[in-house]
A and B are shown apart, each in its own frame.
Chain A
């Protein structure tokens, strides 16, 4: 009796386990192609060929880099808080993975006579969940900076805290318009609400604020002050090397992927309106790829802002803009 009960339970959660395994596998391997693409984009913007030696057009370069990082000396500074120093990269890596619990990748699919949703949890507060969980990512940066016991690292993490807190507010406000249009915080509902027109048409200001605040939350150029190599060494991960450093790099790539996904889901119709030669989910992935490319293109096009400019943009430009967006959306909907 207990045996069969356990078996039934297992079959019920089997699709979930498979989905988890697929997501974790894909996310762990994703940085390999992404680093190659990023380096190639950088190279072509700067009119040079980029990695060319390992494999065809340097395609195997990320593998070589991975081997190099894995075999490097794992160095911990003498005065570091050893426990927190080891924990920090893991703490930075967990939230990006957890976010994928709430992300849907398309309409439910029928497979072997069972309806399978293309998300792990279709929760009614999906959007809020993603914003909240991705906000925890800053703890990895804080811990890394503090535990390293180095001036550059502490300064980097102090900057990062102030930046994350400042930009979380406009980011959260900018999606309220989208929530108002969809009448829901469920991401599938938000996509379904865009079956007529994509949200970018109704919410151009919301998109602008979300996109810019997203760049700042991901700490990418032009807002990468926490790791500004010009004035801080490498910021919070100055003291990290080898495998621990690559965990930070991995989590930064995943944050970029999450931002691309959110931009597509919230403002560019998700998997709606796929052209006839693509399945909706592939169309969705293609759009995500486009946004990842945009983020990388920005990185090699814009100079870094000064710190006071960063704060001015956050509090005096983006925050009023996002409030205005809520007001205007409210008036139009009323």
Chain B
């Protein structure tokens, strides 16, 4: 039973992954990506980690992809669909992908850290409590560093948006002054 479900989810995930790249319309690409994320969440459930699955849906599907769609909906999609992404850089893009593929192959086959074998002693169905405790004791520093990085990105976005707003405000003030 599990095998059949794995085949179903992985096939749909790979197929929708291809569709992300192949679809002409950005909205269709984004939706294919949503499908892909949901399938990956299903794979997490098959692996006995419902927590990761739920977080995957929460963060990637519920937040990030919704924001993606929000931005895409503001664009002129018809125009975007006609223009090609990377008109000249296709060979360069191919090269980058080749390097990434080689890297992935090397890490999976040669490096023990990325070994796909499950280490002994790790419970097959970890509880949220254990996850939380490990995150806040053993991996506290990386966890905090990640949150600081996110905070910096957030502040950066606010600063970028804020200066633009100030510019328009001064223009409006100027315009108002002229009228007065």
* Residues of A in contact with B (beta carbons under 8 Å apart): 9, 81, 84, 123-125, 128-129, 131-133, 135-136, 138-139, 142-143, 145-146, 154, 157-158, 161-162, 164-165, 168, 185
- Smallest distance from the beta carbon of A229 to chain B beta carbons, Å? 22
**Other-chain residue from A124, A135, A146, A158 in contact with B62 (beta carbon distance below 8 A):** A135
Q: Is the CB of B128 within 8 A of A9?
A: no
- Which residues of chain A have C-beta atoms less than 8 A from B34's C-beta? 139
The answer on a CB contact under 8 Å between B70 and A162 is yes
Query: A133-B57, A146-B27 in contact; A124/B67 too (CB < 8 A)?
Result: no
Question: With A124-B127, A128-B58 given, is the CB distance from A165 to B51 under 8 Å?
Answer: no
Instruction: Return the chain A residue nearest B52 by Cβ.
Output: A125
With A129-B50, A129-B54 already in contact, 17 other A-B pairs whose C-beta atoms are closer than 8 Å: A124-B51, A125-B50, A125-B128, A128-B54, A131-B58, A132-B55, A132-B61, A135-B63, A136-B57, A136-B61, A139-B34, A139-B69, A146-B69, A158-B73, A162-B70, A164-B66, A165-B66
A175 to chain B minimum Cβ distance, whole angstroms, is 13
B1 within 8 A of A: yes
Minimal beta-carbon separation of A77 from chain B (angstroms): 16
Alpha-carbon separation in the docked complex, A304 to B28 (Å): 34
Which chain B residues have a beta carbon within 8 Å of chain A's beta carbons?
A: 1, 25, 27-28, 31, 34, 38, 50-51, 54-55, 57-58, 61-63, 66-67, 69-70, 73-74, 127-128
CA–CA, A185 to B55, complex, Å?
13
Q: Roughly how many angstroms separate A129 CA and B51 CA in the complex, as a whole number?
A: 8
Complex Cα gap A133–B127 (Å):
20
Does the CB pair B66–A132 fall under 8 Å?
no
User: How many whole Å from A326's CB to the nearest CB in chain B?
Assistant: 15
Instruction: Report the bound CA distance from A132 to B63 in whole Å.
Output: 10
Residue of A nearest to B77 (CB): A146
Q: Are B58 and A135 in contact (CB under 8 A)?
A: yes
Bound-state CA distance A135–B37 (Å) is 14
Interface of B is mostly: helix
Instruction: Choose among B27, B66, B127 the residue that contacts A138 (Cβ–Cβ < 8 A).
Output: B66
Given the complex of chains A and B, what is the CA–CA distance between A128 and B55 in angstroms?
A: 8
- The answer to whether B57 touches A132 (Cβ under 8 A) is yes
> How far, in whole Å, are A84 and B66 apart by their CA atoms in the complex?
16
Q: How far apart are B79's CB and chain A's nearest CB, in angstroms?
A: 15
Give the A-B pair count, Cβ closer than 8 A.
Answer: 68
Q: Identify whether the interface residues of A are mostly helix, strand, loop, or mixed.
A: helix
30 A-B contact pairs sorted by A residue (CB < 8 Å): A81-B27, A84-B27, A84-B28, A84-B31, A123-B50, A124-B50, A124-B127, A125-B54, A125-B128, A128-B54, A129-B54, A131-B58, A135-B57, A135-B58, A136-B57, A136-B61, A136-B62, A138-B62, A138-B66, A142-B66, A142-B73, A143-B31, A146-B69, A146-B73, A154-B73, A158-B74, A161-B66, A161-B69, A165-B67, A185-B128
User: Shortest Cβ distance from A316 into chain B, in angstroms?
Assistant: 16
When C-beta atoms are compared, the residue in chain B nearest to A137 turns out to be B62
Expressed in whole angstroms, the Cα–Cα distance for A240 and B61 within the complex equals 25
Q: Compute how far the CA of A84 lies from the CA of B32 in the bound complex, rounded to whole angstroms.
A: 12
Q: How far is the CA of A60 from the CA of B91 in the complex (A)?
A: 67
| B50 and A158 contacting across the interface, CB-CB below 8 Å | no
Pairwise interchain contact B50-A132, C-beta atoms closer than 8 A: no
Could you tell me the distance between the alpha carbons of A158 and B128 in the complex, rounded to whole angstroms?
Answer: 35
**Given the known A-B contacts A125-B51, A164-B66, are A132 and B58 also in contact in the complex, defined by CB atoms under 8 Å?**
yes
For residue B38, which residues in chain A have a CB less than 8 angstroms away from its CB?
Answer: 136
User: Which of B1, B54, B70 touches A161 (beta carbons < 8 Å)?
Assistant: B70
Which residues of A sit under 8 angstroms from B67, Cβ to Cβ? Answer: 165
Query: Given the complex of chains A and B, what is the CA–CA distance between A200 and B67 in angstroms?
Result: 34
Contacts of B55 in A (CB 8 A): 128, 132
Report the separation of the CA atoms of residues A145 and B74 in the bound assembly, to the nearest whole angstrom.
Answer: 12
